[in-house]
Amino acid sequence: MKKLFPYGLDAPGVVRNMAVVSLLLWLVYGLSFVDSMPLRINGMEWPAAFMTFGTLAMIWSSFRKVPEREKLLGKLVWRGDEHVLDIGCGRGLLAIGAAHRLPEGQVTGIDIWQTSDLSGNSPQAAQDNALKEGVSDRVSFQTADMRELPFAGASMDIVISALAIHNIAKADQRKRALLEIIRVLKPGGKILIEDIRHPAEYREILQQNGCIVTVQKPFIHRVFRIISFGNLNPAIILGWKE
């Protein structure tokens, strides 16, 4: 599992639960063909297929993390000497990708290392990945809450984050995290956020606090919104601080 998903499986509990429900639904569907069954339930193939597709989609997205990382980070123009902060870095996916683009820069990744959000989530896993990718001299990891960043104001050239801010349940606390991002960013500094919920909320907060922002929704993000019946609303937020 560690070799197959070096950057972890997203929401492992959700994947497990979806897989179990999928198997149960297929079992019920199969039993509907047994003549001796006293009760028949028709139409179970549709929810079974939906749950199976959702499970496989989440596994596929975790398997494809590195190429998707490169596409995401390619949306920024890099000088090569920036100081970068990765919010909710997990096992180092974006931080390490950024470090590859910074021969003279430095990346700091912060997280609170919740394994419910990412399998095997730990600072040691992130450090191990940085060593394997040959960038351990340009990236560091520390425990910190995105709502109280332990960095001076206007100290970062770029702030990046993927699939992290939505894990804060309350809107006022997500706003607090976004305001912290703005605080530590230098004037002219860049923001790159990919998340599965709340893009309109993020855009409004950033725009109201001195940032120029655009929201992108690639085709695959629109597909995920459809198959989740609107429960997910993935988007990429690009911006810069005036």
Q: What is the mean pLDDT of each run of 10 residues along the chain (242 residues)?
A: 71 84 84 63 76 81 87 96 97 97 97 90 95 97 98 98 96 98 98 96 97 89 72 92 96
Looking at residue 38, what is its pLDDT? 55
For 193-223, letters b (16+ CB in 10 Å) and e give: bbbbbbbebbbebbeeeebebeeeeeeebee
β-bridge mates for residue 185, sequence order: 156
Q: How far is CA 167 from the centre of its chain?
A: 10
SS3 117: coil
Please tell me the predicted confidence (pLDDT) of residue 39.
56
| 21 within 8 A of 55, measured Cβ to Cβ | no
Question: Cα separation of 213 and 144, whole Å?
Answer: 26
